[in-house]
Homo-oligomer: A and B are copies of this chain.
Amino acid sequence: MPTLTSAGIEPLFRLLGRYMMLDESDRRALSTLETGPVCHAEARTDIAREGENPTVIRLLISGWACRYKDLPDGRRQIVGFFLPGDFCDLNIYILSELDHSIGALTAVRYFEIQPQQFQEVVDQRPHLLRALLWHEMVSAGIQREWLLSIGQRSPLERLAHLFVELYYRLKAVGLATGLSFDLPITQNHLAEANGLSLVHLNRTLQEMRREGLIELSDRQLRIGDLERLKRVAMFNNNYLHFNR
């Protein structure tokens, strides 16, 4: 267990710091968000369901969660991953009803932050509000990139792209060591995120292993050659907007 997964506000601080300079006082301001209760959810349970009217903002501390949408007949599409440091529901000020569900993929821990408390923090520091909006805009950019992936990239390119993206996002919150990172989700989750059947996802993983693009076992993913993987994925990191 990497100690950083239990680091509270630390991943968020790193994440935002990747975009703009933050100082000690920013860190203290963010830390006041930690005063809410720490919540837990088991793997394979819902944190929020489509149609609900959320009243709290959730900040993921450890574990992986996802946004997903499902159809009446059971088909399900994961439309985004939440990694430690990510906010789930920054938009509760604007929209009343969730148009998607949020599910825990692994056991997760998260803070529940009251809108009022949140308001106090960002009112005092427009600086931080800006950083948080940036976080939301990046999420939208990721959505667009996923649409490009599912619509145009082949399954192999698509998976390669996802792995590179996860690598950069995890690195940004201190959860990648070298070219390896923890991939605590199942192949079924990867299939649901990529619009592939489980069988074909597995085939594609085997192919990536054969090609030496990745090693994957015991929930650890190791990237063989990052530049080659990026080339295969046609990866352009501009959509992550990691510029200061």
A positions within 8 Å CB-CB of B: 50-51, 67, 69, 71-73, 75-77, 79-80, 91, 93-97, 99-100, 130, 133-134, 137, 139-141, 143-148, 150-153, 194-195, 234, 238-239, 241, 243
B140 engages A97 (CB within 8 Å):
no
B134 engages A94 (CB within 8 Å):
yes
User: Of B137, B143, B153, which contacts A143 at CB under 8 A?
Assistant: B143
Count the copies: 2
B133 engages A94 (CB within 8 Å):
yes
User: Of B140, B145, B195, which contacts A69 at CB under 8 A?
Assistant: B145
B234 engages A72 (CB within 8 Å):
yes
Please measure, in the bound complex, the distance between the C-alpha atom of A213 and the C-alpha atom of B152, giving whole angstroms. 27
B96 engages A243 (CB within 8 Å):
yes
Please measure, in the bound complex, the distance between the C-alpha atom of A141 and the C-alpha atom of B50, giving whole angstroms. 12
B147 engages A94 (CB within 8 Å):
no
B51 engages A238 (CB within 8 Å):
yes
A69 engages B144 (CB within 8 Å):
yes
Residues on the B chain within 8 Å of A95, using CB:
134, 137, 141, 241
Residues on the B chain within 8 Å of A94, using CB:
130, 133-134, 137
Please measure, in the bound complex, the distance between the C-alpha atom of A50 and the C-alpha atom of B141, giving whole angstroms. 12
Please measure, in the bound complex, the distance between the C-alpha atom of A176 and the C-alpha atom of B50, giving whole angstroms. 29
User: Of B75, B99, B243, which contacts A144 at CB under 8 A?
Assistant: B99
Nearest CB to that of A237 among chain B residues?
B99
B239 engages A99 (CB within 8 Å):
yes
| A100-B144, A243-B96 known; A151-B91 Cβ under 8 A | no
A152 engages B75 (CB within 8 Å):
yes
| Minimum CB–CB distance for A123 against chain B, Å | 14
Excluding A51-B238, A99-B239, A143-B144, 18 further A-B contacts by CB distance (< 8 Å) are A69-B147, A71-B148, A71-B152, A77-B147, A77-B152, A79-B144, A79-B148, A94-B134, A95-B134, A95-B137, A97-B238, A97-B241, A100-B144, A140-B140, A143-B143, A146-B147, A150-B151, A151-B194
A243 engages B79 (CB within 8 Å):
no
Residues on the B chain within 8 Å of A50, using CB:
238
Residues on the B chain within 8 Å of A134, using CB:
94-95
Please measure, in the bound complex, the distance between the C-alpha atom of A51 and the C-alpha atom of B91, giving whole angstroms. 27
Q: Which 8 residue pairs spanning A and B have beta carbons closest together?
A: A151-B195, A99-B239, A77-B151, A75-B152, A69-B148, A77-B148, A143-B143, A79-B147
